Amino acid sequence: MRSRVHFRPAAIGLSGVSARAIAGKFRLNEAVAETAPAFLERVSGQARSHRAVHHPYLRALASGGLSDSRRALKDFARHYHGYSAYFPCYLRSTIDQLTIPEHREALTENLSEESGQYTAEDLRALRQAGIAPEWIVGVHHPELFRRFGDALGVEYVDATSMEVICWREMFLGVLAEGSPAQSVGALGLGTEGVVNTMYRYFLPALERLGLDPKDTVFFPLHTMVDDHHQATLLDIAEHYARTAEGRHELEKGMNKALYLRAGFWDWLYARARETRCPHGA
């Protein structure tokens, strides 16, 4: 049987703080015994089960549990646009952090998809899923989301809400001011790795509204195309997951992104449950 090491501060003359520091270092080094793919599979599972991905707000939208789903979706469209419109900036912030040319090139390809460029293979798969190429080719993804808002009659006349401004600026800070591994963890594990699961909650609500599929294509598109984005970022993450420090930074970035998104859902959920129409909805 494999023996375990127990740290006893009194027995070896160390303070509790010193012993905990040594124990933490021991656990950090021991964690490297887990392979990089196994680590990424484990933390990706944690991200996919996070409250931000299966938030009560999302569940209520999917089930029709809100008193006025149309009003809630209109409010979502108005405010989420202030986040989604910056997605190319998020990608560029992470690209700027990367030092390996192959990694930068791979993410630059994702950036081209965000601008409406797809491979022939992607277009075949999307066509089979009922997404017509003419709906999406050459159209930037933020514009696809704006199309959804326009179909709901959203008016983008006043300044972006403070909640959205804080969310995107804090997220950009995580991507641009931390380590490269933290940036990859935030954009990959904590964002691209979960949106294809998260956006599925919107599909039943959109179906009940009866909108033209062209106007809601942003959502089914992202449940499919982001699989490719996720794979690219996972490949990059595996490079950083070879060290304990890299794993720590990946997981930290992932959780920062998830906590920020959960806070946004909390805010929208509170607005959706207000008995009177919230300001700006």
In the block, residue with structure tokens 């979960």: 194
Domain containing 70 equals 35-272
Structural domain contains residue 279:
no
Structural domain contains residue 75:
yes
- 52 and 156 assigned to the same domain: yes
**Across residues 99-104, what is the average pLDDT?**
95
Token pair listed for 217: 């294509």
- pLDDT tens, position by position, 25-68: 444 444 457 999 999 999 999 999 999 999 999 999 999 999 99
Token pair listed for 73: 């979706």
Q: Please determine, for residue 10, whether its predicted confidence score (pLDDT) is greater than 80.
A: no
Q: Rounded CA gap, 104 and 134, in Å?
A: 29
- pLDDT tier for residue 120 given thresholds of 50, 70 and 90: confident
How many folded domains does the chain comprise?
2
Structural domain contains residue 107:
yes
Structural domain contains residue 278:
no
- pLDDT tens, position by position, 173-212: 999 999 999 999 999 999 999 998 999 999 999 999 999 9
Structural domain contains residue 281:
no
In the block, residue with structure tokens 């017509």: 132
Q: What's this model's pTM, rounded to 2 decimal places?
A: 0.83
- 13 and 51 assigned to the same domain: no
- pLDDT tens, position by position, 145-169: 999 999 999 987 666 899 999 999 9
- 10 and 40 assigned to the same domain: no
- 2 and 73 assigned to the same domain: no
- 12 and 52 assigned to the same domain: no
Q: Distances from the Cα of 263 to the Cαs of 38, 51, 124, in angstroms? A: 29, 10, 37
- 111 and 216 assigned to the same domain: yes
